[in-house]
Chains A and B, each alone.
Chain A
């Protein structure tokens, strides 16, 4: 069974934000919600580095562990999804997430949170696959059609890789060997408790 993961090759990311735009467009993500974002470290200085980050779909997801109403579930592919019907908007998953993936619309009183929204690995939610209801709540379900997440498909430098963890780790290792350098798979130790030696 495939175990889906994300890998952002920090040596190739050029901060073009194509992944961000692709995700926002594909799922019609409302204004203010940022499922995917690009963070630039040492911006403007020599040694500037950019990394694209969204939900990493962790092993032992801390968001799922902390949720007071157990609205998360992990699919057979290792994709971490949640139910917006059960979510109460308490915000704890954001405190627990090492990657800042959960996003909340500010719809309540006192600036309080609405239902949590996050990257779904383009795999929709608990509703039936590719229905209008599912699209409205969670965005498009590409995985059900056998396609990979759009952010990785649209990456202009192929720095963002998505797919079965073994396969993308292999691709990354080959790259590192061919070009002679690689800063490792950012976030893999925290999310999957494994590293890719570089």
Chain B
């Protein structure tokens, strides 16, 4: 009986094996069909058409590594190397050419009738401090910033890569650290002088008369004329934009993705270059462009003739105020008086 069961077991097993073999034979007899297991997966071209970049998921904490490909990087680089360089070159060299040309034609704008020797206070010490702090920071920020865009073309061939890298490294540190006092200065300038820089009817008249740039007219102006108001708003709005984008660049990817960073850099660079061009004009008119202008920010006091010519409406109030509250004692000797002792 057991022998019969044993034989039966063997037969069943053999039958099962034969069945498997029978099932297997048709499969091996087939040719391999090219089934594409990744047919439903995305393709690179398709992703480029849908979105400008390819992004997925990764396994590391660095979230920006999940972007696989962002070809707009090449476009940004082309703009930075080409478009922005041309913008900067044209704006800055163009402004320099304009200023040199203007100076050669017009020369320094003199005070009509010469100096009286009497002065009136124009800017107090706090205003001057804020201006000079912001201005000094601006000069260093401008030079270190221009180095990033133009340095390797203009400076690197002269001083060699080792020195140039060392200079660029320190320029970068200066740029990052001085951004703070510069931003503080812009904010203080905004608060200090906003009252005097709101555009008005007087400014329209001033602009119509060309601000006295051509001819010898002296259109009336209050404490700040229209040209100065333009500079004010360039500093506040342009400087604000440059500071904001600058901080985005300095704290990278804190809320921006790669496209945001590229955009921030483009705004920062373009606005900064235009800012530099505008400030060249401001520096010109405040130094060699106009006699008696520098003292306004230098000592804080300007000649009364200068005040009456260039800021007549302000001069009236300021001189009237000075008579009632004399803060400046009258000078000991005037040119008309000769000591006849």
A interface list, Cβ under 8 A from B: 10-11, 17, 32, 34, 37-43, 46-51, 53, 62, 65-71, 85-92, 94-100, 109-113, 179-181, 183-184, 186-187, 189-190
Contact = CB atoms under 8 A, between A and B. Distances in A.
Contacts of B252: 91, 111, 113
B81 A65 contact: yes
Given A99-B69, A181-B38, A43 B148 contact: no
Q: Which 8 A-B pairs have the closest CB atoms?
A: A180-B34, A181-B36, A41-B56, A96-B77, A47-B40, A86-B165, A47-B41, A62-B77
B156 interface: yes
B37 to A, nearest CB: 8
A46 B38 CA distance: 9
Which label, helix, strand, loop or mixed, suits the secondary structure of the A interface?
loop
Contacts of A109: 176
B44 interface: yes
Given A34-B65, A186-B69, 14 more contacts: A41-B55, A49-B38, A62-B77, A69-B152, A70-B161, A86-B161, A87-B165, A90-B172, A92-B80, A95-B73, A95-B262, A100-B258, A181-B36, A183-B43
Nearest to A110: B250
B148 to A, nearest CB: 5
A68 B176 contact: no
Contacts of A49: 38, 41-42, 56
Contacts of B21: none
19 contacts: A38-B59, A39-B68, A41-B47, A42-B56, A49-B42, A50-B56, A68-B151, A70-B161, A86-B165, A88-B168, A90-B172, A95-B77, A95-B258, A98-B70, A98-B74, A99-B68, A100-B68, A180-B36, A181-B36
Interface string B230-272: 0000000000000000000111101000100110010000000
A113 B252 CA distance: 9
A112 B34 CA distance: 52
A62 B151 CA distance: 18
A91 B76 CA distance: 13
Interface in B75-123: 76-77, 80-81
A62 B265 contact: no
A112 B250 contact: yes
Interface of B: 34, 36-45, 47, 54-60, 62, 64-74, 76-77, 80-81, 147-149, 151-152, 156, 161-162, 164-165, 168-169, 172, 176, 249-252, 254, 258, 261-262, 265
Contacts of A66: 77, 80-81
B65 A86 contact: no
Given A68-B168, A69-B168, A42 B41 contact: yes
Most A Cβ at <10 Å: residue of B55, B76, B254: B76
Contacts, number: 162
A62 B147 CA distance: 19
Contacts of B251: 110-111
A97 B165 CA distance: 21
A88 B261 CA distance: 18
A85 B169 CA distance: 11
Contact of A190 (B65, B66, B71): B71
A189 B45 CA distance: 10
A183 B73 contact: no
A37 B60 contact: yes
B34 A48 contact: no
A95 B258 CA distance: 7
Given A62-B73, A95-B76, A181-B34, A71 B165 contact: yes
Contact of A37 (B58, B74, B165): B58
B73 A42 contact: no
B42 A69 contact: no
Contacts of A180: 34, 36
A181 B38 CA distance: 8
B38 A183 contact: yes
Nearest to B54: A41
B179 to A, nearest CB: 10
B60 A39 contact: no
Contacts of A186: 44, 68-69
Given A88-B172, A100-B64, A65 B77 contact: yes
B44 A39 contact: no
B273 to A, nearest CB: 15
Most A Cβ at <10 Å: residue of B38, B40, B249: B38
Nearest to B39: A181
A195 to B, nearest CB: 9
A182 B44 CA distance: 11
B152 A98 contact: no
A12 to B, nearest CB: 9
A198 to B, nearest CB: 9
Contact of A39 (B42, B58, B176, B265): B58
